[in-house]
Amino acid sequence: MITVLIILFLAAIFAVVISLVFGAIYVPSVNWVIDDMVSLANVKKGEKVVDLGSGDGRIVIAFAKRGADAVGYEFNPFLVLWSKYKIWRSGVNAYGAHAHVYWKSFWNEDLSKYHVVVLFLSPLLMKRLEEKLQKELRSKTRVISATFQFRNWKSTKRLRSTWFYIR
C-alpha cells in the first residue's frame, strides 16, 4: 500500500513538473466556457478543429459532437489516457464523429490544416503562440481563446471570457 502511494505521489509530481516546464498547469474548463467556445466557432460538419493543450478532452468531445473532426494535443500523459477513456465513454466515435487526443506538444505540429483552433493556455505562452499561429494559419482560420487574449490581435467577438479571432 505504501509503495502504491509513493508511486502515485511521484507520478503527480512528474505531471506538475511537466506541465510547468512545457505548458500550463491543468485547470479544467467549466461547461459554460466550453459552450461559449463551441458557439463562437460555429463549426460545420467535417471541419477540422484542434484544441491546444487539450487537458481532459471535454472540448474535443464537444466539437466532435457537433460534427467536427476534433483533435487535441496534450503533453501530460495522464491527461491523454484520461481523455482517451472519456472519448471512448462518450461514444462520439461510434456515431461517425472523430475525436482524438495525441500525446504530443503542439509546438512541433503544423497547424495549417485546421479550420478552428481553440485554447485555454497560460498568459506566459500567448505571445509565442501568437507568433506560431501568425506564421502557420491559413486565411479565415477561426481562433478561440478562453480567458486570455492575444496582445497584438483584434478580436472579432467576445462572449463572456472567451475571445474570438479570425486570422
pLDDT at residue 8 greater than cutoff 70: no
Are 119 and 129 in contact by the 8 Å Cβ rule? The answer is yes
More confident residue, 122 or 54: 54
Taking the C-alpha atoms of residue 116 and residue 97, their distance in angstroms, rounded to an integer, is 16
Are 122 and 55 in contact by the 8 Å Cβ rule? The answer is no
Cell 479570425 appears where?
A: 166
Taking the C-alpha atoms of residue 81 and residue 77, their distance in angstroms, rounded to an integer, is 6
pLDDT at residue 1 greater than cutoff 90: no
Taking the C-alpha atoms of residue 121 and residue 52, their distance in angstroms, rounded to an integer, is 8
Element at 132 (helix H, strand E)? helix 123-136
pLDDT score for 3: 81
When pLDDT is cut at 50, 70 and 90, the band that residue 23 belongs to is: low
Q: Spelled out in words, what is the top-level CATH class assigned to the domain 26-166? A: alpha beta
pLDDT at residue 13 greater than cutoff 80: no
More confident residue, 85 or 1: 85
Cβ neighbours for 46, distance < 8 A, ≥ 6 positions apart: 67, 68, 69
Taking the C-alpha atoms of residue 68 and residue 49, their distance in angstroms, rounded to an integer, is 6
Show the beta-strand stretches assigned E in the chain: 48-52, 69-74, 98-103, 116-119, 142-146, 157-159, 162-166
pLDDT score for 20: 54
End-to-end distance of the chain based on CA atoms, in angstroms? 53
For the chain, give every domain's residue range. 26-166
pLDDT digits (tens, 9 = 90+) for 138-166: 999 999 999 999 999 999 999 999 999 99
When pLDDT is cut at 50, 70 and 90, the band that residue 28 belongs to is: confident
pLDDT score for 148: 92
pLDDT digits (tens, 9 = 90+) for 38-68: 999 999 999 999 999 999 999 999 999 999 9
